[in-house]
Amino acid sequence: MSEHDSVDLKPTPGDRLANFYKRSDVIQSTIFGVIVTGIFVILGGKFYTKWMPTVMSTDMKAIERLMVVFTWIAAPVCGVVLGVALYTFLNRHSGDTQPPDGPATRTNGPIVLLWSVVTSLLALTAVVYGITELNSSSIASAKNAEDAMVVNVTGSQWVWTFEYPKLGVTSHELMLPINHPVTFHVNSVDVNHSFWPVQLGVKVDANKVAETTAETTPNKLGEFDVKCAELCGLYHAYMETTGEVMTVDDFNNWVVAQGGHSA
């Protein structure tokens, strides 16, 4: 009789799974996890676009979208980690004596496998998405390379200088015509600087002798900031200037006013 009972009491894997979903710790952790995931999804969609400055090029738009999508990819991970963490934190043992022993679970093969596969897939998603973006931006810049306007950018301690070789203009402010692709050829005369027209969403270091390039197409009228993003000595913080994306007419007028010849 008793033998028969003990056989009956042993739950089948199916029963264990069914019971698993009824356990209060599972339910509570899941609720916490879903709430956390929801918060990250909502905040991820709102906050970066709020914090980041005006989008003035397709590159900047892509970056903003990427920040949002990556937050969404990360949201379920946050949900799982913080769901379990919050549940156990709230169900803690208090007092000055150590708690009773828990179950002696050494490992759980399927869980370890599932966890590894899911995190690998999430990482893969991020990799594929990033590579795709990288690829499409380099295709776009290759396509624009032919008719792009070249601007030679020179960093020196602690001034940016912009030279428009075809137009015969040199300036310390970066004026750009709207919807016209531009290629920056970046150099330095002294130490490393990093050329960062913030709202255009591109950045590249200025090195001595070795020229670097960056391409973008501004698509919104208005002023933007140009900064230095690499510590370059005493007045690094003040190595900034302004730029403006103008209509083509305004740009041509500016070029003529600077003594250059209009394109």
Partner 1 sequence: MTTLDQHVGTRPIPNPKKSLITKLNAGTGLIVGIIFALLTYRGLSTVLDISVYELNNRVLLATMFMWSIGFLAGIGAFIGPIRWLIGEDLTAEEQLYMAGDGQGIKRYFKYCTDHKVVGIQYLWGVIVLLAVGGAMAMMIRTDLANPGGHFITPSVYNSLVGLHGITMIIALIIVATGPFGNYIMPIMIGAADMAFPRLNALSWWVLFTAIPVLCSAWFLGGIPTGWTAYAPLSVQAGPGMNAFIATIIIFAISTAVSGANITATVITMRAKGMTWNRVPIFVVGATLSVAMAIPAFPTFMLAMIMTAMDRSFLTGFFDANVGGTGWLYAHLFWIMGHPEVYVILLPGVAILIEIVPVFVRKPLFSYTSAIVGFAGIVGLSFLVWAHHMYMSGWMPMLNGPFMVTTEMISVPTGLIFLVILGTLWNGKPWLKVPMLGVYAFLWNMLVGGITGLYLSDVPADMYLHGSMYVTAHFHYTLMGAALTGAVAGLSYWYPKMTGHMLHERASYISFWLVQIGFQVLYLGMFIAGAEGQPRRVVDYAEQFATSNKISTMGAYTIGIGFIVLLWAVIHSWRHGKIAPMNPWGAKTLEWTVPYPVPLVNFDTPPVVTSDPYGYGRSAK
For residue 223, the minimal CB distance to partner 1 (Å) is 13
Cβ atoms of 236 and 159 within 8 Å: the answer is: no
Instruction: Provide the minimum distance between the beta carbon of 78 and partner 1 in the complex, in angstroms, as a whole number.
Output: 6
Q: Which is nearer to partner 1, 180 or 185 (CB)?
A: 185
Q: Tell the residue number behind the tokens 């030679």, with chain if given.
A: 152
Q: What is the largest CA-CA distance in the chain?
A: 106
> What are the residues facing 151 on neighbouring strands?
184
Considering the complex, state which of residue 119 and residue 179 has its C-beta at the smaller distance from partner 1. 119
What is the C-alpha to C-alpha distance for residues 87 and 171, in angstroms, rounded to an integer?
60
Helices 109-144 and 58-90: angle between axes, nearest 10 degrees: 170
Instruction: Give the separation between CA 196 and CA 186, rounded to whole angstroms.
Output: 11
Shortest distance, position 185 Cβ to partner 1, whole Å? 11
Q: Minimum Å distance from CB 29 to partner 1?
A: 8
Q: Which is nearer to partner 1, 94 or 257 (CB)?
A: 94
Residue closer to partner 1 by CB (options 96, 257) is: 96
Those residues with Cβ within 8 angstroms of residue 64's Cβ, 6 or more apart along the chain or in another chain = 48, 49, 52, 55
Burial class (CB in 10 A: 0-12, 13-18, 19+), 91: exposed
In this complex, which beta carbon is closest to partner 1, that of residue 167 or of residue 226? 226
Least distance in angstroms from the C-beta of 233 to partner 1: 5
Residue 245: what are its φ and ψ, rounded to 5°?
-90, 125
